[in-house]
Amino acid sequence: MKQITLSDRIVIEAGICTGKSIKKISEDIGKNPSTVSREIRTNRSYIRGSFYLNNDCKYARHCARKHICTDEYCERLCVKCRDYECRDMCVRYIPLKCSRIEKPPYVCNRCPTKDKCNKNRYIYSTKLADAASSRRRSETRRGVRLTEEQLKFVDELVTKQIKKGQPLTHIYSEHEAELPISLRSLYNYIDNGWLHVRNIDLRRKVTYKPRKKRKKSEKAADGDQFYYRYEHTYEDYKRYVENHTNCSVVQMDTVVGTKSRGQRILTMLFMKTGIMLMILIPDGKAKTVVDVFDFLLNILGMEDFRSLFDVILTDNGPEFRWTDYLEWAPYTGERRCRVFYCDPMASWQKAELEKNHEFIRYVIPKGKSLDGYNHNDMTVLMNHINSTKRLSLNGRCPYEMVAEGDESMKLLMELMGMDTIPADDVHLKPDLLIR
């Protein structure tokens, strides 16, 4: 735990009073010496000294100066004046202060003359220090801590981009340098109703439901119906990846419109970059997926295909069960990739792709038929999704993650019409594809 606790403050006060060094105190509580030093200076209690005529000037008791305020008719000593502060006007003013409080331990707890001292003093008290820390922490978390102009700027910027369907993480990643608050504070401002954007405008905020644990009895058994999984299981996948650390992993799945009917979207997520390839297919047949693999092999060539699609991780859908046809090239019989399958009912094993499907649902809601969409529509949607900045990518979008020397990915992007959309033009709402 990084914060100083009440028990830590008790040890600090006891250490000061017994004459321990800051380094020794820090060892006692397991903190850095600079942390202890900062704690003492920040939360020490100020005690004003007893000064002659409440004037803390070194020469106040014996000062006989007059007319510092240029009033020639005034007969009072300037040190006794109540109309002006001579300390603000006198060039001879020198404050009466103790140099000991400027050096460790920065307080007067152990000073032998503290009871008789009439100078400004500091005392470190556990009770007062803890109260000061709690009060300060409470104040920093209370209400809007922006000026009216800053709040207006944040409100206009976020509202404008949210109306385009952009996720809050994307907006923050693109405008982090301009926004005067953190992403967490941005969520809090929306939650508390301080912006025109509401929780209802944040898709995940209103649709996320806690994951329900599936009972063991409900889990499908890995029996004969999964014959195609032999030597292609998730355990086989983990072993292969451990032994081939430089392999290129792609997660694969399909997105359906009206269930079991009509067109589908074959999605492939490249784990190294986060780029999602989207290809519209006419049905959910295994041969259709094999045809897509053959198409990609024809336009890329064997070397670039292997570089991009080295290892495929997918689920147990019937469209992916022609394992041999997916792994081996037609005519030449060369191995073009390796296909592995997640465990039954364990889509979380390819969680990155499942999360990316949410972006598709922002534009094409679940249950809406995909019939009527074409490949150009998929290219537009794919470019907007891949141009969305992610916190998981350190504020960059997937397209920005392509390495300078990754010629295979650049070739695929060129052939498939994949190009970056300007950050502020990213649009992830149904009106992106009007059908």
What pLDDT shows up at residue 211?
59
Residue 326 lies in a domain: yes
**Whether 163 and 279 share a structural domain:** no
Long-range contacts of 212-221 (CB under 8 A, 24+ apart): 214/345, 218/345, 219/344, 219/345, 220/344, 220/345, 221/344
N-terminal to C-terminal alpha carbon distance within the chain: 54
**Whether 184 and 324 share a structural domain:** no
* Spatial separation of the C-alpha atoms in residues 302 and 286, rounded to whole Å: 22
What pLDDT shows up at residue 374?
92
**Whether 265 and 333 share a structural domain:** yes
Mean pLDDT (10-residue bins), the chain, 435 residues: 83 93 92 92 90 85 86 85 82 85 91 86 92 81 78 91 89 90 88 84 68 48 64 93 92 85 91 95 92 94 94 93 91 90 91 93 89 92 94 92 93 94 93 80
Residue 140 lies in a domain: no
What pLDDT shows up at residue 251?
96
Residue 139 lies in a domain: no
**Whether 192 and 236 share a structural domain:** no
What's the number of domains the chain is made of? 2
Q: Which residues pair with 25 in a beta bridge?
A: none
What pLDDT shows up at residue 390?
92
